[in-house]
Structure 1
Amino acid sequence: MKEDWKPGTMIYPLPAVLVSCGSTPEEYNILTVAWTGTICTNPPMCYISVRPERHSYDIIKRNMEFVINLTTEDMAKATDWCGVRSGKDHNKFEEMHLTPGKSTVVSAPVIEESPLCIECRVKEIVTLGSHDMFIADVVNVRVDTENLNPETGKLELAETNPLVYVHGGYYGLGEKIGKFGWSVEKKKNNK
Structure 2
Amino acid sequence: MPVVLVACQGRDGPPNLLTVVWTGIVCSRPPLLAIAVTPERHSHALLLETGRFSVNLPTTALVRAVDLCGVTSGRDVDKWQRTGLTPAAGTTGGPPLVAECPVNLECRVARRLELGSHTLFIAEIEQVHVAAALIDGKGRLALERAGLLSWCHGHYYALGRQLGHFGFSVRRKPRRPRRASASGQRREG
Q: If the TM-score is normalised by the length of the shorter chain, which range does it land in? A: 0.7 to 0.9
Q: Are 2:142 and 1:156 equivalent residues in the alignment? A: yes
Gapped runs of 5+ residues in structure 1? 1-13
Aligned residue for 1:86? 73
Counterpart of 2:182?
none
Are 2:160 and 1:169 aligned?
A: no
What letter matches 2:39 in structure 1? Answer: P
Distance in 2 separating the partners of 1:83 and 1:77? 10
Pairwise mapping of residues 21-36 of structure 1 onto structure 2 (< 5 A)?
Answer: 21-22=8-9, 26-36=13-23
Other structure's SS at 1:58 match: helix
1:64 aligns with 51
SS of match in other structure, 1:95: helix
TM-score w.r.t. the length of structure 1 is: 0.87
Shift of 1:106: 3.8
Instruction: Name the amino acid aligned to 1:112.
Output: A
Counterpart in the other structure of 1:113? 100
3-state DSSP class of the match of 2:124? Answer: strand
Aligned residue type for 1:166: C
Deviations 1:62-93 (A, max 9, x none): 01100111111111111111000111111111
CA contact (8 A) 1:66 1:106 kept: no
What is the TM-score normalised by the length of structure 2? 0.88
Shift, 1:26, TM fit: 3.9
| Residues 1:184 and 2:170 aligned together | yes
Cα distance, 1:190 vs structure 2: 7.2
> How much does 1:162 deviate?
1.1
In the aligned structure 2, how far is the partner of 1:143 from the partner of 1:74? 17
State the Cα deviation string for residues 117-169 of structure 1 (Å, max 9, x = none): 111101121111111111111111111112111x1111111111111110111
What is the alpha-carbon distance in structure 1 between the residues aligned to residue 103 and residue 135 of structure 2? 11
- Work out the CA distance in 2 between the residues paired with 1:182 and 1:118: 28
Q: Partner letter of residue 134 of structure 2?
A: N
Q: Output the amino acid matched with 1:27.
A: P
* Deviation at residue 24 of structure 1 after TM alignment: 6.9
Aligned counterparts of 2:151 and 2:92: Cα–Cα separation in 1: 29
Distance 2:7 2:20 in 1: 10
Please give the secondary structure, in 2, of the residue aligned with 1:130: coil
CA shift at 1:188, angstroms?
Answer: 4.2
Structure 2: gaps (5+ residues): 178-189
Count residues with an aligned counterpart: 177
CA distance in 1: counterparts of 2:85 and 2:20, whole angstroms: 17
1:102 counterpart (89, 111, 129): 89
Q: Percent of pairs identical after alignment?
A: 40
Higher relative contact order (CA closer than 8 Å, sequence separation 6+) = 1
- Residue 132 (structure 2) pairs with residue 145 (structure 1): yes
Counterpart among 120, 126, 143 of residue 113 in structure 2 = 126
